[in-house]
């Protein structure tokens, strides 16, 4: 389960386009940040995606991918042209193709590697969808099958693309837009698969074009309500609309950390409350209606010359810190070993889990230990990135790349040192209020499966 939102230039503070996403996956499904340079490929070559092999193109673009460690594609990413994409699982009446297709994360990576605009990326996806279909297990420990929706953005515009099997509809974003784990396009759209309405009529989901509503006709009623997508999508749209005209990177980061109005009003709020995933920053708990949590987050600040990618590379958006990355032909900063589903203190993702999971033991009191310090450090990163981007515009490409890569490296190093210090502070903070028994029991099991101990 995930949440993706976008604001286009007429409502952002600086006229840029900003896309933000939380990737919600299973608690031990480690997230990894990947940099792949522009590459040339031999004619007639093939590429193996998560489950199937398809023809490769002659050239693929430089990309940033934020992805579950075991999947070929990504949950969210950006390419060298400033195209950014995030996807959502959606549950529909169309049957799920369980083998022999591309999964939603594959579509994102393929589109980023092959498209120079958001509109081109949209058509890369729908062309591949028509040719290969979408299918295959998308769950880590628990097999999960679904269809996909996407927000695709570039420095000029953004699009929403929603699918049900091989059927799809797309609309251009006018100001702000968000998607969660349910279809949202209704009676109108800008583009769609040719037989979208006719298929719904044949299935008896509506009687005529006048009666047709894409979301109503194609959505699966039960899963769309149990996954908490309706309150999450309403909340993200409210936040976007309330801040229209002043939307910037810091605000979008704040939206991804949002736990709802009740959490804002109650300083004792903790994430053990509730039975469904109804907050933008999601925390896993007991039962089939809370199986996921925010395992990674990204805010893409898209401008015509230098786009800045803000990524946590860690789980629990509310406990994490965003760091800047740039696609400038340079390698990303060292992030330790590639994580897996087992605890590894040498990987960035699992290093942060020692902090994140300790905070969850007494959220209200332990988060307060370092929240303000985290916010100040993150604000300094934002200011430094803005200054570096502005200064680098006067430099040669080589000098620009070196300057931006140096900033990324510095921010990651400072964030790492801070995370270590915060972990020690939190561990030394006595527990004052424990979460619910079911929440605590769930996290004891997650920790046991991962092989992570919080005692030492």
pLDDT band at 225 (very low <50, low <70, confident <90, very high): confident
Structural tokens at position 48: 């193996």
- In a 10 Å sphere around its CB, with 0-12 CB exposed, 13-18 middle and 19+ buried, how is residue 186 labelled? middle
**Per-domain residue ranges for the chain?**
2-335
pLDDT in tens, 70-127: 999 999 999 999 999 999 999 999 999 988 899 999 999 999 999 999 999 999 999 9
Catalytic residue among 2, 229, 281, 411: 2
Instruction: Decide if pLDDT at 305 tops 80.
Output: yes
**How far is Cα 308 from Cα 306, in angstroms, rounded to an integer?**
7
Cβ-proximal residues to 308 (8 Å cutoff; 6+ apart), any chain = 249, 300, 301, 324, 325, 326, 385, 389
Task: State the pLDDT at residue 1.
Answer: 75
What's the CATH number for 2-335? 3.60.60.10
pLDDT in tens, 154-183: 999 999 999 999 999 999 999 999 999 999
Q: How high does pLDDT run on average in the chain?
A: 96
Instruction: Decide if pLDDT at 63 tops 60.
Output: yes
Of 208, 178, 200, 174, the closest CA to residue 189 belongs to 174
Task: State the pLDDT at residue 276.
Answer: 85
Torsion of CA 437, 441, 442, 447, to 10 degrees: 140
Task: State the pLDDT at residue 274.
Answer: 84
Q: Which residue has the tokens 């958001």?
A: 118
pLDDT in tens, 398-407: 999 999 999 9
Task: State the pLDDT at residue 91.
Answer: 94
- C-alpha distances in Å from residue 100, one per residue of 48, 96, 97, 262: 12, 11, 7, 44
Cβ-proximal residues to 346 (8 Å cutoff; 6+ apart), any chain = 336, 337
CA 165-170-171 angle, 5° bins: 155
- Range 356-369 average pLDDT: 97
- Range 260-277 average pLDDT: 90
Task: State the pLDDT at residue 270.
Answer: 93
Task: State the pLDDT at residue 66.
Answer: 98
Q: What percent of the chain has pLDDT over 70?
A: 100
- Range 331-340 average pLDDT: 95
Instruction: Decide if pLDDT at 228 tops 90.
Output: no
Instruction: Decide if pLDDT at 222 tops 90.
Output: no
Task: State the pLDDT at residue 100.
Answer: 81
Of 128, 367, 184, the closest CA to residue 259 belongs to 367
**How far is Cα 367 from Cα 387, in angstroms, rounded to an integer?**
30
- Range 351-374 average pLDDT: 97
- Range 172-199 average pLDDT: 97
Whether 2 sits among the annotated catalytic residues: the reply is yes
Q: What percent of the chain has pLDDT over 90?
A: 93
pLDDT in tens, 20-43: 999 999 999 999 999 999 999 999
């Amino acid at each position: 389960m995930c949440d993706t939102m976008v604001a286009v230039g007429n409502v952002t503070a600086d006229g840029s386009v900003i896309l933000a996403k939380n990737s919600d996956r299973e608690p031990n499904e480690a997230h990894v940040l990947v940099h792949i340079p522009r590459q040339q490929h031999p004619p007639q070559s093939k590429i193996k995606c998560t489950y199937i092999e398809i023809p490769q193109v002659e050239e693929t673009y430089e990309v940033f991918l934020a992805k579950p460690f075991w999947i070929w594609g990504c949950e969210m990413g950006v390419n060298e042209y400033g195209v950014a994409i995030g996807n959502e699982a959606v549950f529909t009446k169309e049957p799920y193709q369980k083998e022999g297709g591309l999964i939603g994360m594959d579509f994102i990576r393929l589109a980023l590697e092959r498209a120079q605009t958001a509109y081109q990326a949209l058509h890369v996806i729908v062309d591949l969808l028509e040719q290969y279909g979408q299918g295959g297990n998308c769950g880590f420990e628990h097999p999960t099958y679904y269809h996909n929706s996407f927000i695709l953005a570039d420095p000029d515009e953004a699009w929403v693309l929603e699918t049900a099997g091989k059927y799809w509809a797309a609309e251009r974003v006018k100001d702000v837009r968000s998607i969660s784990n349910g279809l949202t396009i209704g009676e109108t759209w800008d583009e769609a698969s040719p037989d979208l309405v006719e298929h719904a009529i044949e299935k008896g989901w509506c009687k005529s074009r006048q009666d047709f509503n894409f979301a109503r006709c194609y959505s699966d009623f039960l899963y769309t309500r149990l996954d908490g997508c309706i309150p999450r999508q309403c909340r993200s749209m409210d936040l976007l609309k309330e801040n229209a005209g002043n939307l910037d990177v810091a605000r979008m980061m704040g939206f991804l950390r949002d736990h709802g109005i009740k959490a804002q009003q109650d300083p004792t709020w903790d994430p053990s409350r509730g039975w469904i995933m109804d907050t933008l920053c999601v925390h896993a708990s007991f039962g089939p209606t809370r199986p996921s949590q925010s395992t990674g987050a990204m805010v893409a600040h898209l401008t015509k010359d230098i786009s800045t990618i803000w990524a946590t590379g860690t789980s629990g958006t509310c406990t994490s810190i965003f760091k800047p990355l740039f696609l400038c032909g340079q390698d990303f900063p060292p992030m330790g070993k590639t994580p897996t589903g087992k605890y590894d203190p040498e990987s960035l993702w699992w290093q942060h889990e020692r902090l994140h999971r300790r905070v969850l033991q007494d959220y209200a009191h332990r988060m307060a230990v370092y929240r303000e310090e985290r916010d100040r450090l993150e604000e300094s990163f934002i200011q430094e990135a803005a200054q570096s981007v502005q200064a680098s515009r006067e430099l040669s490409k080589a000098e620009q790349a070196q300057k931006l890569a140096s900033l990324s490296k510095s921010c990651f190093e400072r964030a790492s040192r801070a995370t270590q210090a915060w972990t020690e502070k939190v561990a030394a903070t006595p527990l004052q209020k424990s979460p619910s028994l079911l929440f605590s029991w769930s996290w004891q099991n997650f920790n046991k499966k991962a092989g992570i101990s919080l005692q030492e």
